[in-house]
Structure 1
Amino acid sequence: MSRPAGSRTVPYKPAPGTIPTAPGVYRFRDEHERVLYVGKAKNLRQRLSNYFQPLETLHERTRRMVLTAVRVEWTIVASEFEALQLEFTWIKEYEPPFNVQFRDDKSYPYLAVTMGDDVPRAMITRNRGIRGARYFGPYTKVWAIRETLDLLLKAFPMRSCSQSVYDRAERTGRPCLLGDIGKCSAPCVGRVTLDEHRATARDLVAFMNGGDQEFVDRVREEMQRASARLEFERAARLRDQLAALESVLERTSVVLSDHVDADVFGLVHDELSAAVHLFAVRGGRIRGTKSWVVDTEIDLTDGELATQIMRIAYEAGDPPAREVLLPRQPDSVHEVETWLTERRGEHGLPGRVVVRVPQRGEKRKLADSATVNAAHALQVARTKRTSDYVTRSQALADLQEALGMAEAPLRIECFDVSHLGGTGVVASMVVFEDGLPRKDQYRKFAIAQTTDDTDSIHQVITRRARYIVEGDPEDSGTRFAYTPQLLLVDGGRPQVQAAKRALDEAGVRGIALAGIAKRLEELWLPDDEYPVILPRTSEALYLVQRLRDEAHRVAISYQRVKRSSAIESQLSGIPGLGPARVRALLRHFGSAKRVRAAAPEELAEVPGIGPALAQAVARRLGADTMGAPAEGQGSQS
């Protein structure tokens, strides 16, 4: 939605002083009374004032929500905790389109024990609504949970059959095959009483809840006592049960100390989406894992996003562990802990929930692993769209419509410039055809002298345009001479105008041109005063994001290679430092950046580099970098 000309904010902005300063929950509604967004605040006036700043200063997603709404309303509550509860309740009730929402609706299989039944049953299900059932998981693979259940039934022989099979056995007085092979204690035919069978079900639940070592020790002791009393048949059954228990434990990785009860979250997000990965650790073992992908409509802070992840993870799912480990502390952490404690109590579990950010040790390592898994989930979610032909076609059609092109851009080239404070300037060109990357047609550019980003873009597009006009004599396939339907440059209006000037000077016509603004939803055209806003649900938005990210990745990789080559040239001029010792330095420290940062004492630890030579290296690198920006400063656009 575009901004009304001359408008600084929206007409429904509340009058000054009318918004209370108390804690509360607010709702934005559209002209049809639909709730667009629900939020909470410790101070309603302070929070809502953020939405009524000049429209051009708002994040695009926030601006779109504010412009779509026609009024805002609020409810005062007594405390931050009540605000949190009411916010979560209204999000569940109204499902506002601008709140954080899951995109991945895949249901995962669980191991369930139906303790609410007269004769409890162990089963694999995706249904989370069974009355009185205790759930374990989720599991990512059905075969893995089937193997686990098969082993568990050897140790805890309880009913796993359907109701129809149980009723038939009860009528005929003959148990099913599982009863005959010892994987069910056959309460259907009275081999055990219903109370004894329920006790077996309680033991299985306790084992899965983390009491595994207690059971292993108990079975081992009973086996030894039976053997000592010469009860060899009973000892053999206990031996088989012990082997089954140990097999189950082998399938569940030991990752933390015994008795650790924690939910470990990894969280990675970009402008469009966030990915979450959960390790459910019970008794020091990973009992379940799960990954989610969520849409992030409003420009949330890290703390706000962490709070919403807690809502989605626990609102109607598994009970939280006593310790919840997050990469970032949620807003109103004490209120979130109270809410999680209540969720835990609703499942009949004691203890207060504590939310922490792990800093070191085994918990930090597991949290880092969860973050790696979350990053992978986000990457899979991005690339999954490109694997489907219909989705790719829709993305190209959306882009054609948004940019007013006569035909879909079957070949798109995206350019990115990367530098460190104006030094070591390089650029990349990535190519997508039919929505898929063509890595064999990527190009890298070294830019010797430039004044700024716009000059760099002008130089690169000038070089690209020359090949379009003249062809590529060094490429037998003339692939670099192919004419794209669309050129994208990383940057706003100035960069796009610089690229257009380069195309005009080369006499290139008929190629669409756009710039990818930092906010990503905005595409700048050369002669337009305002950007094109890609719809939040448009497939084109994800295609543009992937193009931008790929171009940025290639440019950064090339810049690192150039920096390594530069430091090799610098070092090769030092007397006594030949190619072998230069390679040894780079191999020892792993990168040019670390060689530059190393102290003379650290340089001297490299084989073949003595104290005198280490001092010479430090002096040379120090002189070459004096006055230059440190690594990581400056711009990487």
Structure 2
Amino acid sequence: MVTRNRKIHGARYFGPYPKIWAVRETIDQMIRAFPIRTCSDSSYKRAMDSGRPCFPGQIGRCGGPCSQKVTIAQHRAIVDQFVAFMANPDPRMIAQLTRDMKQASADMDYERAAELRDRIGALENVLESSAVVLPETVEADVFGIEHDELAAAVQQFRVRGGRVRGVRSWVVDKELDVSLGELVDSVLQSAYDGTEPPPKEIIVPELPEDAEALEQLLSGLRERGAVHLRAAQRGEKAALLQTATNNAKQALNLYKTRRSADYVSRSRALTDLQEALELDEAPLRMECFDVSHLAGTNIVASMVVFEDGLPRKDQYRRFNVTDSTDDTESLYQVLSRRLGYLGEDDLRMGDPIRDEAENVDESIELGTRRKPGKFSYRPNLLIVDGGQPQVQAAARALRESGVDGINLCGIAKRLEEVWLPDNDYPVILPRNSDALFLLQRIRDEAHRFAITHQRTRRKKDITSVLTEIPGLGAARVRELLRHFGSVAKLKQATPEQIQEVKGIGPQIAATIHERLHA
């Protein structure tokens, strides 16, 4: 039977399986290989009384113990084979069935040989459905973990006989900002809560401080043998751990997206923000700003917009900062430019920051005035990525702009504190609150948008430098970047290594090396 109940007395469990279709597909193939009884007790009793096999027995999906086509002992042997293969899929069983098939064919028992042939094909399909990721002797659980300040996603791969036999995924809310090692300790204790014994080896991204004590605790859940925790750094196990971590990262992103898209959660988050920040009304339109740079160069800033708790990507903006001393000065410049576009009636004759912002909608001329673009919409709440210094810089820009009726706050990343301009102490929101979750999502989106823009600028900068070299056109520039994979590796390359690129001769290679290190 297929069930989610792990507490049926006397039952033998196999799994867990990632999807219900994976369970049914495995059962279908296994019944072809091992035709055991799957009918209900009432059908079995009726067949025993009548002496006629049930429908699965008539079509060959059951050995037929009810109609004495096979004896009870023979059927028990088939069940034992089923259990052994489900517990540890062993290719040697296929080899044994192949020998039996050849022997049956040699004995001219062709009907028996055909049955064994079908069983072999079914078992091969079962083995092919689970990829071989590690040596056949390996039995381990691999835990990939991706976390931020508020939540953690866990991806568990159950490897048995070198194959991934099950996948389990879940997301937990973090009550405290704990380290990865502490998170691993908590995850393992919750994963093995007594319903399923742990395997001999558990692969985790980082060992907790009390790894030895945790190993002893998990070893006590096994009938025999000890449990060993491993933090794989290289090889096949590390590659499998990276796959699990990537899956956990995608699961965390999906969790955030679903939670932010829930109407009830969004409404509750906006109401909680209004109360926590003491706003006159709910912040239906919020704009968040973040600054990104590389060692003080290529300074860029981003503005992301959330309306009714959802991102409005068509209204995102990017800014280039040509001259600045630090992040606070950059924030002051960007907010001054943004607020300078807001007037008393939110109308402007022109578009004074078109050169600085991207994706600004075209204005429509109406007499002597132009219809305001989306960039001129007045926000209810301005959010900056940072603590008290960044909030003070933003407050200075807000005061000097003369724009009233806009609230301001900042969210510091380390402790997830919310800072207000006139407060000496931060506002602490509950870690599992929808309001803090929404602020964090806005801040992370602004950070992502700024980083993406900065990387694009760096790529354009290096491309422009390369295209200025005589004899180096766009096609050769693309070939260089494709060959080395990144600008950093291209800068580290010697002239001889650069010369290995298709179309690059010794003279051009020497010029490229000289120009990049000028």
Tell me the TM-score normalized by structure 1. Answer: 0.74
Aligned residues of 1:324 and 1:354 also touching (Cα < 8 A): yes
Measure, in 2, the Cα distance between the counterparts of 1:567 and 1:561.
10
Measure, in 2, the Cα distance between the counterparts of 1:496 and 1:448.
21
Residue 431 of structure 1 aligns with an amino acid whose one-letter code is V
Matched, 1:243 2:121: yes
Deviation at 1:146, TM superposition (A): 1.0
Measure, in 1, the Cα distance between the counterparts of 2:489 and 2:377.
41
| Equivalence for 2:356 | none
| Equivalence for 1:102 | none
Matched, 1:203 2:91: no
1:527 equivalent among 419, 422, 427: 422
1:137 equivalent among 15, 33, 38: 15
- Tell me the percent identity: 56
Q: Counterpart of 2:220 in 1: which secondary structure?
A: helix
Deviation at 1:354, TM superposition (A): 2.5
Aligned residues of 1:471 and 1:480 also touching (Cα < 8 A): no
Aligned residues of 1:152 and 1:244 also touching (Cα < 8 A): yes
Distance 1:330 1:183, change over 3 A: farther
Q: Counterpart of 1:183 in 2: which secondary structure?
A: coil
User: Quick check: 453-462 or 358-367, which moved more?
Assistant: 358-367
In the TM superposition, what whole-angstrom CA distance separates every residue of 1:400-441 from its partner, at most 9, and x where no partner exists?
221112222111111100012222110001111111111111
Residue 131 of structure 2 aligns with an amino acid whose one-letter code is S
In the TM superposition, what whole-angstrom CA distance separates every residue of 1:509-555 from its partner, at most 9, and x where no partner exists?
11111101123531101101111111122111211111111111110
| Equivalence for 2:376 | 481
| Equivalence for 2:342 | 468
Q: Counterpart of 2:341 in 1: which secondary structure?
A: helix
Measure, in 1, the Cα distance between the counterparts of 2:120 and 2:321.
68
Measure, in 1, the Cα distance between the counterparts of 2:54 and 2:209.
54
Measure, in 1, the Cα distance between the counterparts of 2:141 and 2:508.
51
Matched, 1:339 2:213: no
Residue 269 of structure 2 aligns with an amino acid whose one-letter code is A
Distance 1:174 1:392, change over 3 A: farther
Aligned residues of 1:227 and 1:235 also touching (Cα < 8 A): yes
Measure, in 2, the Cα distance between the counterparts of 1:340 and 1:564.
50
Measure, in 2, the Cα distance between the counterparts of 1:193 and 1:398.
69
| Equivalence for 1:24 | none
Deviation at 1:194, TM superposition (A): 4.3
Residue 267 of structure 2 aligns with an amino acid whose one-letter code is S
Distance 1:169 1:529, change over 3 A: farther
Aligned residues of 2:385 and 2:412 also touching (Cα < 8 A): yes
In the TM superposition, what whole-angstrom CA distance separates every residue of 1:341-384 from its partner, at most 9, and x where no partner exists?
33232xxxx54332222232322221111111111111111111
Deviation at 1:316, TM superposition (A): 2.9
Q: Counterpart of 1:532 in 2: which secondary structure?
A: coil
2:279 equivalent among 405, 421, 432: 405
| Equivalence for 2:27 | 149
Measure, in 1, the Cα distance between the counterparts of 2:304 and 2:391.
17
Measure, in 2, the Cα distance between the counterparts of 1:408 and 1:460.
25
1:499 equivalent among 377, 390, 394: 394
| Equivalence for 1:378 | 252
| Equivalence for 1:418 | 292
Residue 413 of structure 1 aligns with an amino acid whose one-letter code is E
Deviation at 1:391, TM superposition (A): 1.7
Deviation at 1:167, TM superposition (A): 4.6
Q: Counterpart of 1:135 in 2: which secondary structure?
A: coil
Deviation at 1:258, TM superposition (A): 2.5
User: Quick check: 411-420 or 475-484, which moved more?
Assistant: 475-484
In the TM superposition, what whole-angstrom CA distance separates every residue of 1:190-233 from its partner, at most 9, and x where no partner exists?
54454443332221121012243122111111111000000111
Distance 1:460 1:144, change over 3 A: same
Deviation at 1:558, TM superposition (A): 0.6
In the TM superposition, what whole-angstrom CA distance separates every residue of 1:551-570 from its partner, at most 9, and x where no partner exists?
11110111111111222333
Measure, in 2, the Cα distance between the counterparts of 1:465 and 1:584.
43
| Equivalence for 1:459 | 333
Measure, in 2, the Cα distance between the counterparts of 1:408 and 1:164.
62
Residue 315 of structure 2 aligns with an amino acid whose one-letter code is Q
| Equivalence for 2:484 | 589
Measure, in 1, the Cα distance between the counterparts of 2:41 and 2:304.
59
Deviation at 1:166, TM superposition (A): 4.0
Residue 153 of structure 1 aligns with an amino acid whose one-letter code is I
| Equivalence for 2:406 | 511
| Equivalence for 1:213 | 91
Distance 1:603 1:519, change over 3 A: same
Measure, in 2, the Cα distance between the counterparts of 1:375 and 1:229.
57
Matched, 1:447 2:311: no
| Equivalence for 2:239 | 365
Distance 1:508 1:163, change over 3 A: farther
Residue 214 of structure 1 aligns with an amino acid whose one-letter code is R
| Equivalence for 1:20 | none
Cα RMSD of the aligned pairs, angstroms, is: 2.1
Q: Counterpart of 1:202 in 2: which secondary structure?
A: helix
Aligned residues of 1:226 and 1:234 also touching (Cα < 8 A): yes
1:222 equivalent among 90, 100, 103: 100
| Equivalence for 1:70 | none
Aligned residues of 1:136 and 1:287 also touching (Cα < 8 A): no
Deviation at 1:127, TM superposition (A): 0.5
Measure, in 2, the Cα distance between the counterparts of 1:537 and 1:308.
18
Measure, in 1, the Cα distance between the counterparts of 2:190 and 2:63.
39
Residue 228 of structure 1 aligns with an amino acid whose one-letter code is A
Matched, 1:293 2:171: yes
| Equivalence for 2:367 | none
Q: Counterpart of 2:221 in 1: which secondary structure?
A: helix
Matched, 1:603 2:498: yes
1:557 equivalent among 452, 457, 460: 452
Deviation at 1:269, TM superposition (A): 1.2
| Equivalence for 1:315 | 193
Q: How many residues align?
A: 497
Tell me the TM-score normalized by structure 2. Answer: 0.90
Measure, in 1, the Cα distance between the counterparts of 2:468 and 2:433.
55
Matched, 1:127 2:5: yes
Q: Counterpart of 1:496 in 2: which secondary structure?
A: helix
Measure, in 1, the Cα distance between the counterparts of 2:276 and 2:341.
28
Aligned residues of 1:135 and 1:318 also touching (Cα < 8 A): no
Deviation at 1:490, TM superposition (A): 0.3
In the TM superposition, what whole-angstrom CA distance separates every residue of 1:461-494 from its partner, at most 9, and x where no partner exists?
1111112225464533610001111111001111
| Equivalence for 1:265 | 143
In the TM superposition, what whole-angstrom CA distance separates every residue of 1:284-325 from its partner, at most 9, and x where no partner exists?
221111111122223323222212221111123433222221
Measure, in 1, the Cα distance between the counterparts of 2:157 and 2:175.
26
Residue 234 of structure 1 aligns with an amino acid whose one-letter code is R
Residue 536 of structure 1 aligns with an amino acid whose one-letter code is R
In the TM superposition, what whole-angstrom CA distance separates every residue of 1:581-602 from its partner, at most 9, and x where no partner exists?
3333223223333333333333
Aligned residues of 1:136 and 1:288 also touching (Cα < 8 A): no
| Equivalence for 1:79 | none
Measure, in 1, the Cα distance between the counterparts of 2:85 and 2:126.
10
Q: Counterpart of 2:431 in 1: which secondary structure?
A: coil
| Equivalence for 2:354 | none
In the TM superposition, what whole-angstrom CA distance separates every residue of 1:6-48 from its partner, at most 9, and x where no partner exists?
xxxxxxxxxxxxxxxxxxxxxxxxxxxxxxxxxxxxxxxxxxx
Stretches of structure 1 lacking an aligned partner (at least 5 in a row):
1-122, 624-637
Residue 426 of structure 2 aligns with an amino acid whose one-letter code is P
Measure, in 2, the Cα distance between the counterparts of 1:300 and 1:386.
24
Aligned residues of 1:303 and 1:328 also touching (Cα < 8 A): yes
Residue 507 of structure 1 aligns with an amino acid whose one-letter code is G
Q: Counterpart of 1:153 in 2: which secondary structure?
A: helix
| Equivalence for 1:431 | 305
| Equivalence for 2:465 | 570
Measure, in 1, the Cα distance between the counterparts of 2:267 and 2:338.
27
Measure, in 2, the Cα distance between the counterparts of 1:399 and 1:594.
46
User: Quick check: 333-342 or 482-491, which moved more?
Assistant: 333-342
Residue 241 of structure 1 aligns with an amino acid whose one-letter code is R
| Equivalence for 1:356 | 230
